[in-house]
Chains A and B, each alone.
Chain A
């Protein structure tokens, strides 16, 4: 609905966060996606999460690949720099950006085609390298911009709009992420903002590669009865392992839950992840257990959502490379150039 200009009027009583920003300050251009697209809900969740966390928008760099999902960074955080890169290659560009300035927050937005097909290599290697980022996969199991082809996350046996059955085995990006060393792994549903917003908050405040697979139905090409990524199908098969409350260090924890039903995870920056266990006793600090659980439930046709895994002692790429605290892009000439005297000595050693 791009023909409608966004009204500039602001409610004077709009709620403000600790920085004095309203939610509006975290929005972007008007979405050009189809009405009802799950991706727009994810954008809204990102806006809410950043507002709640009092993040300065210009301290976020948002990067994406190509596809419907990758268009969305234009639709949130309009005061942040963004980079819509090439298809499947966002992870490498984000890695480079993160190396240049360790002080910004890096938000990568991708889709199932972008991450599981053309970009699976870059997805895998960014995870194993420990890039400090929040990586959101807006997973609709279909190629939208090219009008409805199966993607690599399309479930085996599911049908496209014309009734053609997909025979290929799907790729579970979260299973991959777990195996490859991602230190914050979650899955959610674009239609469940109660679950999604705290998961995004936790990811934004996590040190290391945080990845969230958000099942996000494509209303135009993949929201029909034969699809396993339709709104109805997800609602029926969603098996949440936990419910997350994200709490900043400054906040009072006054939630009252039954003893034993809560798990408290403190992240490196003091932020707290309060996990309400649901159903089966699930341990989100057990990487191997998480992998097994995912596989078992997948075999039963269930879509496991929630915080699947978190490692609060993870290190990131900067730590591995032992880079200086000051962002590399702010180092002045004198810190970079060894100068003529060093060169004279070097010349002498080359004779």
Chain B
């Protein structure tokens, strides 16, 4: 060990696990994350996995933060290096003064280690080979064993981990015993052979409160159940697949008729994304709430149908769990790079409603709200999350639901309305909000039927090639999007502690990193007001926020600054006033990155307000 002192930290560090995928490590790592949370200490884990089933490198990054910062931080104080393939880069990533836990069964030359870290060898393979005969058990329990060792090294309460194992395998006593035994082997080895605790410690705290630990995809599936969706058409694609799997499993639990075991829902796995969205459009046209979940390539395939749903005004919901693009891109990495593809999806003049949840809580609430919004506006609504919030368990507010709430089915004309003589024109704007009335097939024997189509029609849904009919319709659609501005969730502003001419706009999964960056900047005396955009088309407040400031940073996770493009285009804003802060290597954005960029730009470039330039 050189002069670098071992890092000392309680409840504030990053642990990273380097594993081989398909080895069962993810569940052991998750068990460890939950154990820390059970001690009241906030943890934000992130699974960094390959597009592969078995044998490729995978990492599990766990940020422990008593302060509650849940964004990715970067770097790590403790590396659990279990993958020889990535050994060198894993060792290099450890912060000076950090710690390395590794399988010391096979001796490694000194040159493979670093002088400035504390090396903690545990002969995991040797212990496993001694204790177990079954090859699968040898593999699985090796993971549980290092969890046990970490429990000792970080001075955690063994009983709380033990209790969690008991909770997870409730009813399967054999599994409980076997897992606790493996935990104990690791724990005892560390206690007897290593100096416990190390400089990093977990101490019981009250930072978690009543928060829940959940991933965004499951929350979207639950949101669709609460939002009243009855039909889902889908095609498997990473990272969105588990949205539908969750919807299915919640439906089996909550939507099975108790009397006869029949399903109050229908899920069809289709032959491709075109059929998926076709099923959704057909069901929604026929009066069911319907949705699909997909990712970038699926969005590309669905384009023509999005245009139909927009133009025929069919209320559908699409969950897009974004991944790295373009093309197949980085299927198991995160990005926010489908904004443009969704905002203006399909040929011709189209525009769509987008919602940007920041965490699983909003995946649930905005996911459920999306169905009301789609029905109210009679148009596709996209819920844009990404792999970072979709596939990682995240601490968030517990879900809530108002039992007084009734679904807003929007302007649906009933048989009674038609009999009462209400004038029905499918594409007629009767009250100026641009939203027409619709009827559901089968409503009335003689009134209210219409022929839906993607072609131009007049206000009464009759085929028309007349320019005046076309313009009437397009202008009505524009009015409808003015209405949408007032219905999408409002942006949320956090003001700096001192008045400032600068602002930053961000959305979705950037939220925890931005919150932390805000605090870092404040601590450095850099004051920036921040606004989280939650919907598109943009509410007037979003454009006002920009216009009231000299310059605004637009923080996002794509290469071209897609939110910025939308702001420039929709808000008619001078692009010079919007400064790009872009992170797009496939890893989640960090607070260090955001605060660094903003502080650098403000100091180095001595940003001069444009208004002053003009005045001088």
Footprint of B on A, CB under 8 Å? 29, 56-59, 61, 63, 73-74, 78-86, 89, 91-101, 103-104, 121-122, 124-125, 129, 317-318, 321-325, 328-331, 333, 335-340, 342-343, 346-347, 350-351
Contacts and interface: CB of A to CB of B under 8 A. Distances in A.
B200 interface: no
A225 B165 CA distance: 79
Given A100-B282, A104-B442, A122-B271, A84 B452 contact: yes
A100 B401 contact: no
Contacts of B222: 346
B502 to A, nearest CB: 38
Contacts of B263: 321-324
Interface string B391-403: 0000000111111
A61 to B, nearest CB: 5
A150 B453 CA distance: 26
A100 B304 CA distance: 22
A125 B454 CA distance: 23
Contacts of B272: 121
Nearest to B260: A324
A288 B292 CA distance: 37
Interface of A is mostly: helix
Nearest to B38: A351
Given A74-B463, A322-B261, A79 B282 contact: no
A61 B212 CA distance: 45
Nearest to B399: A343
B226 A338 contact: yes
A92 B270 contact: yes
B212 A350 contact: yes
Contact of B279 (A93, A333, A340): A93
A103 to B, nearest CB: 7
B11 interface: no
6 contacts: A96-B278, A100-B282, A101-B286, A101-B441, A346-B399, A347-B210
Nearest to B446: A79
B284 interface: yes
From A73, A96, A100, A347, residue with most partner B Cβ within 10 Å = A96
Given A100-B288, A328-B266, A343-B399, A338 B281 contact: no
Task: Identify the 3 closest CB pairs spanning chains A and B, nearest first.
Answer: A92-B278, A96-B282, A81-B441
B213 A351 contact: yes
B282 A94 contact: yes
B453 A83 contact: yes
Nearest to B288: A100
Contacts of B401: 337, 339-340, 343
Given A322-B263, A333-B406, A339-B403, A61 B286 contact: yes
A89 B274 contact: yes
A347 B286 contact: no
B230 interface: yes
A99 B279 contact: yes
A97 B308 contact: no
From A86, A89, A328, A346, residue with most partner B Cβ within 10 Å = A328
B254 A89 contact: no
Interface string B237-269: 000000000000000001101001111111110
Contact of B283 (A73, A99, A124, A351): A99
B100 to A, nearest CB: 32
Contact of A58 (B225, B398, B442): B442
A336 B267 contact: no
Contacts of B305: 86, 89
A351 B287 CA distance: 37
B280 interface: yes
A86 B302 CA distance: 11
Contact of A81 (B37, B267, B446, B449): B449
A326 to B, nearest CB: 9
B452 A329 contact: no
B278 A89 contact: yes
Given A81-B451, A84-B453, A346-B399, 11 more contacts: A79-B446, A84-B452, A95-B268, A96-B231, A99-B283, A101-B442, A322-B261, A328-B230, A335-B264, A339-B403, A347-B210
Nearest to B287: A329
Contacts of A100: 230-231, 282-284, 286-288, 290
A92 B442 contact: no
A300 to B, nearest CB: 34
From B208, B277, B445, residue with most partner A Cβ within 10 Å = B445
Interface string B361-387: 000000000000000000000000000
B407 interface: yes
A61 B278 contact: no
A136 to B, nearest CB: 17
A43 to B, nearest CB: 14
A218 to B, nearest CB: 21
Contacts of A92: 233, 270, 274-279, 282
A346 to B, nearest CB: 7
A243 B276 CA distance: 39
B450 interface: yes
A154 to B, nearest CB: 25
B412 to A, nearest CB: 11
A328 B288 contact: yes
B392 to A, nearest CB: 14
Interface string B462-478: 11000000000000000
